[in-house]
Amino acid sequence: MVMFAMRKVNLRSVDLNLLVVLEALLEEKQVTKAAERLHMSQPAVSRALQRLRSMFADPLLVRSAEGYDLSVRAGQIIGDLKSLLHSVSQIISETEFSPQTSKQTVKIAGPDLETALYVPDLLAIMRQEAPEMRVELDSRPADYFEMLSRGDIHFAISGVAPQTAEDQFHRAILDVTDTALMMGAHHPLADNPITLDAYLAARHGFVSITGKGPAMMDSRLREMGKKRNTVLRLSSFMSVADFCEKTDLIFMLPINLIQKISLGRAVVTCALPPELKADPLPFYLYWHARDHHDGMHRWIKNAILQHAGQHSVYKV
């Protein structure tokens, strides 16, 4: 039995352009026609053929009565060559995303109220344009940027900026809103403008989505050399109205969220003391850089942003 050893090839030395020329040569069986097909000069294609013959250690094209024909080796590789070049083209080409046929699941994380504000519009669009796609919402208190980094979610909705590795993330603005104070309608401060001293003397609650650190207002007051009386920390916005109605607690919240949770509730909205007023608070849609060019991500992002901003409220 005669055994043949396969010649080892250093792939780093293989020029992909030569394989494109080889495909044209093997299909046209003529240097001139291959050159015309590739929009190359005939001498350039001839030089490429010489390099190919050296690479394969085979003539590839051999003279025949009708001009040129394929060598045995060329006949063996032409099918695999076409498949290889097609696969390379598919790898490099952008995958086309079709919402009508996609069955992908979109994973979105964010505080309960933010997702309630922005995701229903997405589902309405998906019902018409992407009927087989699904959405998974995660509103548990968490570090949503860490979840994005791990690839656990596709998008995060947040009014908080990442503390580290900002270059990993892309974002688009969803909304801009002022902040205001929310308290029960029975609260002693509900009927008059609130001074800084009255604010500091009141009892406060706040919502911490990550469950870590003080509220932004507490950090700001510390810089001013002042402190408020904070007695409650929540991990969700959904119960804030209950605490306002049944206690004397005051919450500082974005106005668009106050509008959502105050409907039909015995609560009032008041302006912050002038000394504590800040710039309007932006809400962003975040996604990881790894997904920035993905077709599905781009479609979902555009669908969410299509209705973004219609919930914006700027003043008390």
| HEC sequence for 282-296 | EEEEEEEHHHCCCHH
3-state class (DSSP) for residue 256: helix
Architecture of domain 179-279: 3-Layer(aba) Sandwich (3.40)
Residue-level pLDDT at 13 = 61
Q: What percent of the chain has a predicted confidence (pLDDT) above 90?
A: 48
Greater model confidence, 45 or 10: 45
Answer positive or negative: Cα dihedral of 99, 105, 108, 112. positive
184, 248 Cβ separation under 8 angstroms: yes
- Tens of pLDDT, residue by residue over 111-145, are 887 888 889 889 999 999 999 999 999 988 778 89
Residue-level pLDDT at 8 = 61
Domain 14-92 is found in CATH 1.20.1250.20 = no
**Mean pLDDT score of the chain, rounded to an integer?**
86
Mean pLDDT to the nearest integer, 102-118 = 88
Residues 6+ apart with CB under 8 A from 4: none
Residue-level pLDDT at 316 = 33
| Confidence label for 312 from pLDDT (cuts 50, 70 and 90) | very low
Residue-level pLDDT at 313 = 39
- Tens of pLDDT, residue by residue over 28-71, are 898 999 999 999 999 999 999 999 998 889 999 998 877 788 99
Q: Where are the alpha helices (DSSP H) in the chain?
A: 16-28, 31-38, 42-56, 72-92, 112-129, 144-150, 196-201, 216-223, 240-246, 255-261, 295-306
Q: What percent of the chain has a predicted confidence (pLDDT) above 70?
A: 90
Domain 105-176+282-306 and domain 179-279, same fold? Reply is yes
Question: What residue type is assigned to position 243 of the chain?
Answer: F
Q: Is 39 left (phi over 0), alpha (psi -120 to 50) or beta?
A: left
Is 272 a residue whose pLDDT tops 90?
Answer: yes
Across-strand partners of 233?
206
CA dihedral 291, 170, 116, 311 (to 10 degrees): -140
Architecture of domain 105-176+282-306: 3-Layer(aba) Sandwich (3.40)
- Tens of pLDDT, residue by residue over 197-254, are 999 999 999 988 766 666 788 888 999 999 999 999 988 888 999 999 999 999 999 8
Is 108 a residue whose pLDDT tops 90?
Answer: yes
| pTM of the predicted protein model | 0.63
Mean pLDDT to the nearest integer, 12-25 = 83
205, 246 Cβ separation under 8 angstroms: no
Mean pLDDT to the nearest integer, 155-168 = 83
Residue ranges of the domains in the chain? 14-92, 105-176+282-306, 179-279
User: What Å distances lie between residue 273 and 84, 183, 224, 252, 277, CA to CA?
Assistant: 69, 15, 14, 11, 7
